Copies of this chain bind each other. A is one copy, B any other.
């Protein structure tokens, strides 16, 4: 039994979210799914779209999808938003020299959320984000 192809997966994603499967949205999600393996900026996505969707549309679609939890907005770069498709829980390692971002599967102890919830007296902790800042191998060589 063959695995459904990427395009189908995208359609299903949109259908499940009760969003219209417009060509623009399909392409944008397709790009997030196949062309990028790291958080990308709206500008980058728009460039990858080669004129098939407007920059404004990209902003709107990403906003819609992130409100639905299908896309995550990453707050690392303080002057532009980065987005990634919400997949498996993971974190990021950022090279402070070249800006490269790597996915990190290592996570904190599962009990940490609850421990923190008690210490700050929150009603609940829904998620957490963890970023590591350092220098990647390429940049270390260059310096």
Binding site for B on A (CB under 8 A): 73, 75-78, 81, 93, 95-96, 102, 104-106, 108-109, 112-113, 115-117, 119-137, 139-140
Extra inter-chain contacts (15) besides given A102-B122, A113-B132, A122-B132, CB under 8 Å: A75-B77, A78-B81, A102-B120, A106-B112, A106-B116, A117-B132, A121-B136, A122-B134, A122-B135, A122-B140, A123-B136, A123-B137, A126-B133, A127-B132, A128-B131
Instruction: Please indicate the chain B residues that have their CB under 8 angstroms from the CB of A128 in the complex.
Output: 130-133
Complex contact B122–A137 (CB within 8 A): yes
Q: Which A-B residue pairs are the 9 nearest by beta carbons?
A: A123-B140, A125-B134, A102-B120, A93-B120, A122-B134, A75-B75, A128-B132, A123-B135, A129-B131
Copies of this polypeptide in the complex: 2
CA distance A104 to B130 in the complex (A): 13
Q: Which residues does chain B contribute within 8 Å of A135, judged by CB atoms?
A: 122-124, 126
Q: Please report the C-alpha to C-alpha distance between residue A120 and residue B119 in the assembled complex, in whole angstroms.
A: 31
Q: Which residue of B lies closest to A115 (CB)?
A: B106
CB contact under 8 A between A93 and B81, given known A106-B116, A115-B106, A116-B104: no
Chain B min CB distance to A79 (Å): 9
